[in-house]
C-alpha cells in the first residue's frame, strides 16, 4: 500500500511496534515489546544497560532487522521477506521513506569531520531528499539558530564542545523535516553542564509538540518532557505509564531498584 493513500487522523500512531522480538544469534535482546507514539507524544525508554532500549530504537528506524512482530509507520506496516534470523524488509523504497521521516540523533553525534556545521546540517536534505540548495541552506541556518548555535555555521565539528556538537546533530535531524525524532542517549556522552544545553533543546521540542522517542539515563529529563515512560528490563516491558506514576510511584520491585541506583549514581 502506498503511504500517500493511507487515511490518517490524529488517532493513527506515528510509530507503532507490536510484539517485537530481536535476536543477535542465540541472544534474545527483545522478547515481545509493544510501543506506541501518536503525533505529539514524547515516549521515554528507561532501563539498565543491556535491557534492549537502544536496540528497540534501531529496530524502529530499520537500522536493525527484527525477527518477529510488526512495525508500523503512520499506519503503514513494514513489509518483510523471510523469517527468523533471515527476515529483512522486502521493499527498499519503503525503508528509505520511513527512515527519512524518522530522524535519529545518536549518542556520539556522528558529525562528518570534513564538513562545516552548516554543511553537516544541509547534507541529507540535499542528497537524500534532493531539495533546492538555497531552500535547504535557509532552513539549516534557521535550525542552527533554533538550537542556539547559529554563530557556528562555518565552524568544524572539532572546534565545538560536545554539547554544541549534539545540538548540531539535532539541527541536522530537524532539517529533514521528519514526522518523528528518535534520540539514543543524547546526553550520556556529555558532562553535566553541557548536558543541560541539550536537555533545554529537547524540552523546547517537546513543548512544540514534536513526536519523539527518547532512550535516556536522565530520569529528570524523562519526567520533565515525557507523556509516557517505558521501563525495559531484560528485553521486556516491566512497567509503563505516566511519568508521575512510573518515576515517583514505581509499582514493581525491579523498577524501585533501578530508580534507587540511578538516584545514587
- pLDDT tens, residue by residue, 136-156: 999 999 999 999 999 999 999
**What is the rounded distance in angstroms from the CA atom of residue 71 to the CA atom of residue 79?**
9
Gyration radius (Cα) of the chain, Å: 18
Helix 162-174 to helix 117-127 angle, to the nearest 10 degrees? 20
Q: How high is the pLDDT of residue 1?
A: 34
Give the pLDDT of residue 81. 97
C-alpha grid cell, residue 69: 512482530
Per-residue pLDDT band at 5 (split at 50, 70, 90): very low
Angle among Cα 218, 221, 223 to the nearest 5 degrees reads 110
More confident residue, 263 or 256: 256
State the average pLDDT for the chain.
93
pTM for the complete prediction?
0.93
Largest separation between any pair of C-alpha atoms in the chain? 55
CA distances from 35 to 2, 121, 213, 232, 258 (A): 23, 29, 10, 11, 21
Per residue in 116-126, pLDDT tens? Answer: 999 999 999 99
Distance CA 79, CA 193 (A): 43
The mean per-residue pLDDT over the stretch 99-128 comes to 95
Alpha-carbon gap, residue 38 to 3, rounded angstroms: 17
CA separation (Å) from 223 to 14, 21, 243?
22, 27, 5
* 3-state secondary structure (DSSP) of residue 151: helix
Q: Phi-psi region for residue 16, left (φ > 0), alpha (ψ -120 to 50) or beta?
A: beta
- State the cell numbers at 255: 523498577
Coil vs helix vs strand at 30: strand
Domain 3-112+181-264, second-level architecture? 3-Layer(aba) Sandwich (3.40)
> Mapping DSSP to helix (H, G, I), strand (E, B) and coil, where does residue 62 land?
coil
How many Å separate Cα 254 from the centre of its chain? 25
Would you call 122 helix, strand, or coil by DSSP?
helix
Average pLDDT of the segment spanning 79-94: 96
Would you state the pLDDT for residue 235? 97
Amino acid at each position: 500500500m502506498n503511504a500517500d493513500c493511507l487515511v490518517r487522523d490524529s488517532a493513527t500512531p506515528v510509530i507503532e511496534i507490536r510484539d517485537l522480538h530481536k535476536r543477535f544469534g542465540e541472544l534474545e535482546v527483545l522478547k515481545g515489546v509493544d510501543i506506541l507514539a501518536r503525533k505529539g507524544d514524547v515516549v521515554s525508554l528507561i532501563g539498565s544497560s543491556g535491557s534492549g532500549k537502544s536496540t528497540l530504537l534501531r529496530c524502529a528506524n530499520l537500522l536493525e532487522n527484527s525477527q518477529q512482530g510488526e512495525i508500523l509507520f503512520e499506519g503503514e506496516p513494514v513489509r518483510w521477506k523471510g523469517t527468523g534470523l533471515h527476515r529483512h524488509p522486502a521493499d527498499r523504497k519503503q525503508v528509505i521513506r520511513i527512515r527519512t521521516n524518522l530522524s535519529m540523533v545518536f549518542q556520539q553525534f556522528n558529525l562528518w569531520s570534513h564538513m562545516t556545521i552548516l554543511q553537516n546540517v544541509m547534507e541529507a536534505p540535499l542528497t537524500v531528499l534532493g531539495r533546492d540548495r538555497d531552500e535547504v541552506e535557509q532552513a539549516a541556518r534557521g535550525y542552527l539558530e533554533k538550537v542556539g548555535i547559529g554563530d557556528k555555521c562555518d565552524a568544524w565539528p572539532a572546534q565545538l564542545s560536545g554539547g554544541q556538537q549534539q545540538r548540531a546533530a539535532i539541527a541536522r535531524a530537524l532539517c529533514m523535516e521528519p514526522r518523528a525524532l528518535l534520540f539514543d542517549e543524547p546526553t550520556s556522552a556529555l558532562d553535566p553542564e553541557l548536558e543541560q544545553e541539550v536537555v533545554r533543546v529537547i524540552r523546547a521540542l517537546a513543548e512544540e509538540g514534536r513526536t519523539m522517542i527518547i532512550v535516556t539515563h536522565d530520569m529528570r529529563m524523562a519526567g520533565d518532557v515525557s507523556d509516557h515512560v517505558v521501563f525495559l528490563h531484560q528485553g521486556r516491558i516491566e512497567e509503563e505509564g505516566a511519568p508521575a506514576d512510573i518515576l515517583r510511584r514505581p509499582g514493581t520491585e525491579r523498577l524501585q531498584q533501578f530508580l534507587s541506583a540511578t538516584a545514587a549514581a
